[in-house]
């Protein structure tokens, strides 16, 4: 077999992928459903699989929102981070270490923003689940009662942080020392850069809700708290 330039394999792979996608659509007897393309990873950091199907959080978060949010935004942060760390010692570090190492460094703002957004989004997908919401139980429920008075006060405080974050950002339940607190961060900022242990998060960037709720961020936050929060994930983070 003769040697082929690298581009040949790249193009051939792209051609085969397109061909396979086309065949799959034909086999299903119709055009493929709308689904933004998910680029293959090329670099040390990869997009972790979504822990459920795109439509699994519907009607509270639509498959279309997930398609763009996970397939385009989250993937975009992964791609950009790979570009930024290529050929630097950060390329060999775990993601969390890259976030912490670049935090607060004026010459590494872009690396921090993209690394933190990769981390935050993975944490967000896991903070949600189909048929979630309701109330936590066991040790986590006790800690929430001890820290906030009762569950409803926690919920009100979390909703206030999520709706009150001016512009893009995140609302979090975190373990800070030995107590649980609600906090919010702007843009890509993340509690792991501040020595806090996140238990769960809700993304309040407009791209998280605009297709489904337009400007009604409070409705999105309420729907997530009531129907999608993954309390088992939060409990696991508390126990870690």
Residues within the interface to Mn ion (CB under 5 A):
203, 205, 208
Cβ proximity to Mn ion: between 208 and 223 the closer is: 208
* Torsion on CA atoms 106, 109, 111, 115, rounded to nearest 10: 120
DSSP, collapsed to helix, strand or coil, labels residue 180 as strand
CB of 74 to Mn ion, least distance (A): 7
Which long-range contacts does 115-119 make (Cβ < 8 Å, 24+ apart)?
A: 115/81, 116/188, 116/189, 116/190, 116/193, 117/74, 117/77, 117/188, 118/45, 118/74, 118/77, 118/78, 118/81, 119/95, 119/190, 119/192
In the complex, minimum distance from the CB of residue 124 to Mn ion, in angstroms, rounded to a whole number: 7
Closest to Mn ion by CB, 182 or 204: 204
Nearer to Mn ion, 172 or 205 (CB): 205
**Nearer of residues 75 and 82 to Mn ion, judged by Cβ:** 75
**Backbone angles phi and psi of 86, in degrees to 5:** -55, 125
CB closer to Mn ion, 68 vs 151: 68
Give the shortest CB-194-to-Mn ion separation in angstroms: 19
- For the bound state, the minimum distance from the C-beta of residue 177 to Mn ion, rounded and expressed in Å, comes to 28
Q: Cβ 17 to Mn ion, closest distance in Å? A: 26
């Amino acid at each position: 077999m003769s040697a082929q330039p690298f581009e040949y394999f790249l193009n051939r792979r792209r051609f085969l992928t397109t061909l396979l996608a086309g065949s799959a659509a034909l086999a299903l007897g119709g055009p493929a459903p709308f689904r933004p393309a998910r680029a293959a990873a090329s670099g040390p950091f990869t997009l972790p699989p979504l822990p459920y199907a795109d439509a699994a959080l519907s009607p509270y978060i639509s498959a279309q929102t997930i398609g763009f949010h996970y397939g385009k935004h989250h993937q975009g942060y992964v791609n950009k981070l790979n570009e930024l760390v290529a050929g630097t010692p950060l390329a060999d570090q775990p993601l969390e270490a890259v976030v912490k190492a670049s935090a607060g460094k004026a010459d590494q703002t872009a690396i921090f923003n993209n690394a933190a957004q990769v981390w935050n989004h993975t944490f967000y997908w896991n903070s949600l689940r189909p048929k979630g919401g309701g109330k936590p139980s066991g040790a986590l429920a006790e800690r929430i009662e001890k820290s906030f008075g009762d569950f409803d006060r926690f919920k009100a405080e979390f909703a206030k942080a999520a709706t009150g974050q001016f512009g893009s950002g995140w609302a979090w339940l975190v373990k800070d020392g030995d107590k649980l607190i609600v906090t919010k961060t702007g843009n890509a900022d993340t509690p792991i850069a501040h020595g806090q242990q996140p238990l769960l998060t809700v993304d309040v960037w407009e791209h998280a809700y605009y297709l489904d709720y337009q400007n009604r961020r409070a409705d999105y936050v309420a729907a997530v708290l009531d129907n999608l929060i993954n309390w088992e994930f939060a409990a696991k983070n508390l126990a870690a």
